Structure 1
Amino acid sequence: MGKIEDYESKMTQYAEKIIELTREIEILEQNLVANSEATLENMEVKIKQVEALIEELQLSFKSSTTVFQSLHQEITVMVKSLDKVEKTHDKNLVLKTRREYIKIQIELEECERRYQEIFNPNIGSCDHTGITKLSKPIVSHLNAHLGTSHIYGGWGKDSKPIRDRESMYWYSGATSMNLYDIRFYTDYKNLLLRNPFHHHTLSSEWRGLGSNYIVRGNTLYYQNYNPFGLAKYNYTSMRYESRVIPGTSSSFSYANYPHQIFDFASDENGLWVTYATDQSNGKMVLAKINENSFGIEEIWQTSVYKPGINNIFMVCGVLYAVRTVDIKNEEIFYMFDTKTKEEKYVSIIFERFQDKYSNLDYNPTDQKLYMYNGGYYVTYHLWFNHTVKATEEPSFRQTSSEITPI
């Protein structure tokens, strides 16, 4: 297990180095003439550092020799390309280097996939008693708009993919809290290349508000603008539906951004939504959604105050609430178990990439957290407590009684 964690740490370091490189390349693309030789030399040093890391990974993890050899070859090509850039400042070579960088990121995704297959074969199982820790933020790319002003939105994978869409990614981002459109990509490679196979713009009367939307079963679930409530758009049937939850208050949003009233979440147990009501005085309410009827199956009242939270996500029927600790870190501080109707306070610290994030969701197909953070695609690996049998009930504190279902 120590070797596994060491491998994961090194993979995270590799991802961080790649992000540094892409920033340098983006700056170079914007103004080739103004870049000094020192800047180019610095880029070459960073690439060589990544090259050294790949060599280290080859030695420490021999079972992935083929993949890492491929990565090593791609890094070598990048070094040669940058050598030419130093001499010519040729924009075409810079673009070629960018394409090679994208190839390396795709190889990284393949490494992560193989890592999951080898070390986490129980994806989809809830045979654990909760999260124990998170990896460092793994930053994939700047959003499809290539704009850091597009801070509102979300990205990820379908949490219950339909046939032949298992590798599909989605993204939606904007400079405001309004949800206008969404892009779908066949796989990770096309996400990085900003090459969607479908780009759908919502009709004006169906547009949403807020950033806490998800895609499940080829369906977009989001907060409706008018009437204020829940909405869904199925991309298989191209059908729109909405519903209003009586008593829901628009006065209680998350701490990070306004208009985050409804927050959709998905896990191994299904589809969920959280909100607050005037009756609950701002304390979070959790509801289970029937995906076929789009009705509410069951509702639970929690004791956590929604405006003190940055975001929530669900794992195996347990709600996890997140808040800010300091300028760099977040904390999972609260858990609510829908099976036992009990809650407890915990402290699981994890690092942010940028100051604020507008979307945080768990995906049960790969057991990762997907964060939209300052316009960047960010993921986290999760570790679970498998040392205690999941059949043993955790010693949570009992909360108030359930609300009558709608």
Structure 2
Amino acid sequence: MIPVVLPLLLLLSPALAWIPLNEWESGNVTVSVGEAGQCVCHVYVPETTFPADRVQHMQQVSKDLILEVDIQVKKMVSYEGNLEVYLKELMDLTVRVAMLESSPDKYIKLDFEILRVELREFEALVSQLKDSLNSTSPMFDSLHTEIRNMTLIVNQLETFDKSNLEVIRIEFAKLQKKLQECQKEQEFIKPDIGNCNHTGIMAVSKPTVIQLNAHLSAGYQYGGWGKDSKPVRGYESMYFYGAYTSPNVYDFYLYSDYEKLILRSAFKHHDLPSGWEGTGNNYIVHGNTIYYQHNTPFSMSKLNLTSSKYEYRVIADASQRFSYSYSDHQNIDFAADENGLWVMYASEESKGKIILAKIDEKSFGIEDQWNTGVFKQLAGNAFMACGVMYATRSVDLNTEEIYYAFDTKTKQEKHLNVRFQKFQEKYTNLDYNPTDQKLYMYNNGYYVTYNVKFNRE
């Protein structure tokens, strides 16, 4: 230790003069009086030279540490943001795996592989984050466990998917078949209304069963329904319906449109007055007029729906002995097509074969007629389309067949084999409507329609 002598000037300071000398003696500092009477202080310091270079070094180290801490803090902020993103992605993956687990049959192999890749990427990100933070936090172990669990679930679900692959293939084949059937049905849904440039009917669609009749009773087996085949302005969407528990005609219901028909909300109900009752269920609506078979006298009759005026005309040679095979008293059958209004009946002279006649709508008389080769009692029903009469017959309980056609233009007849499905075995009314090229059938109390496809070679 090296003593350092302080000058006597210290004793001259007014602030120090009153302090006794022995008060300065403490630790590394001693005070005494020299030979000349001066005050001598002895101070002991550790070294002879002050370590300024070490202080500078420590200052630099301190700055570096502060900078490093700042960098690490920024990294922590960045990692915290990444961790939030990763946690959100993990939650999304968890939801997707849960959805996949709840309905694995809705996913394909590609979905499983994508999930597996994303899980691997997420596991790598979590590992990178853990290494960067040099942390052994349980949170990272939990994340790894969750990822492994989800990967296991994905693998199990893919195995489940493979085990049911044959079932899926069968269902897919069924779907393809239904699609093909739908495409075939689509061909019927694009009619060329009013165009008779074809060689006749080549196919009939599957039946569309609308619903049970408006009386909501299957007991009303005799009747008919459909649309006006020559609607007047404002009634283009009108439907009609009438049905009974026997082959009699007492009243008709009119509906403004298809929706009202379904809701059984008729805008008009026609009760046929005494003396104007009918029979046979072969009625149609044409030009806002209902045409039906009159009882007494046996004749064809019509009711104008606007004026409520009734008329009838007797067909001298029409017989009451010949009816269609599905129902009694279907002796006079009305039909309408692109060429106008028609009536079909049989006579004693024709030996029960159908006579086709064209009706003059103004005079309500017969303007022309043709003899056909169809024995009426063997036919299920008959209808007109583009001036051609078509007759049907039963093939079996579920199948009907258009087996005969007579062309009024060429006066030629030919045999056909156009089969279509029946909803139920027996029906009492079948008519073609030229406004939509559909067949309307009243089948054992149900409204049924068919689309018709013509051969347009």
Same fold (TM over 0.5): yes
- Which residue of structure 2 lines up, in the alignment, with residue 163 of structure 1? 233
For 2:319 and 2:452, how far apart are their aligned partners in 1? 33
SS class of match (2:377): helix
CA distance in 2: counterparts of 1:260 and 1:351, whole angstroms? 22
**One of 235, 247, 250 as aligned partner of 1:177:** 247
How far residue 329 of structure 1 moved from its aligned partner, in angstroms, is 0.4
2:188/2:452 contact within 8 Å kept: no
Please state how far the C-alpha of 1:217 moved relative to its aligned partner: 0.7
Of residues 419, 425, 446, the one that matches 1:376 is: 446
Q: Offset at 1:263? A: 0.4
Q: Give the Å deviation of 1:364.
A: 0.2
SS of 1:189's equivalent in the other structure is helix
Q: Quick one: which of 387, 399, 408 aligns to 1:329?
A: 399
How much has 1:230 moved relative to structure 2? 0.4
Match of 1:141 among 201, 207, 211: 211
2:273 aligns with 203
Deviation, 1:115, is: 8.3
* 1:340 corresponds to: 410
Distance in 2 (alpha carbons) for counterparts of 1:115 and 1:224: 36
CA distance in 2 between counterparts of 1:210 and 1:374 reads 15
- State the shift of 1:248 in Å: 1.4
Task: Give ranges in structure 1 of 5+ residues lacking alignment.
Answer: 1-51, 62-110, 388-406
On the 8 A contact 2:232/2:288 being kept in 1, the answer is: yes
- 2:430 counterpart letter in structure 1: L
* Matched residue count: 280
RMSD: 2.1
Shift of 1:125: 1.0
Identify the residue that residue 289 of structure 1 maps to in structure 2.
359
Question: Structure 2: how far apart are the matches of 1:115 and 1:291?
Answer: 31
Q: Residue 315 of structure 1 aligns with which residue?
A: 385
Deviations 1:297-324 (A, max 9, x none): 0010112111110100100000000000
Q: Deviations over 1:300-358 (max 9, x none)?
A: 01121111101001000000000000111000000000001110011111010011000
Match in the other structure for 2:286: 216
- Compute the displacement of 1:124 (Å): 1.0
Higher RCO, Cα 8 Å, sep 6+: 1
Partner of 1:361: 431
Q: Does residue 446 of structure 2 align to residue 385 of structure 1? A: no
Alpha-carbon distance between aligned partners in 2 of 1:236 and 1:189, rounded to the nearest angstrom: 22
Report the residue type matching 1:368 in the other structure.
K
* Letter matched to residue 265 of structure 1: A
Amino acid at match of 1:296: I
Tell me, in whole angstroms, the C-alpha distance in 2 between the residues paired with 1:213 and 1:139: 20
User: What pairs up with 1:231-246 in 2 under 5 angstroms?
Assistant: 231-246=301-316
Could you report, residue by residue, the CA deviation over 1:199-248 in whole angstroms, capped at 9, with x for unpaired residues?
Answer: 11010210101111100111000000000010000011211000111121
Residue 200 of structure 2 contacts residue 454 of structure 2 at CA under 8 Å; is this kept in 1?
yes
Percent identity among equivalent residues?
57
2:320 alignment partner AA: S
Structure 1 match to 2:297: 227
- Using the size of structure 2 for normalisation, the TM-score is 0.59
Give the counterpart letter for 2:280 in structure 1: G
1:161 alignment partner, SS class:
coil
Rounded to whole Å, the distance in 2 between the matches of 1:155 and 1:248 is 25
Q: Larger radius of gyration, structure 1 or 2?
A: 2
Structure 2 distance, partners of 1:268, 1:208, is 26
Question: Using the alignment, how far apart are the partners of 2:319 and 2:205 within structure 1?
Answer: 35
Q: Equivalent residues in 2 for 1:262-277 (5 A)?
A: 262-277=332-347
- In structure 2, stretches of 5+ residues that fail to align are 1-170
- The alignment partner of 2:369 has SS state of strand
Q: 1:186 aligns with which of 245, 256, 261?
A: 256
* 1:205 partner SS: coil
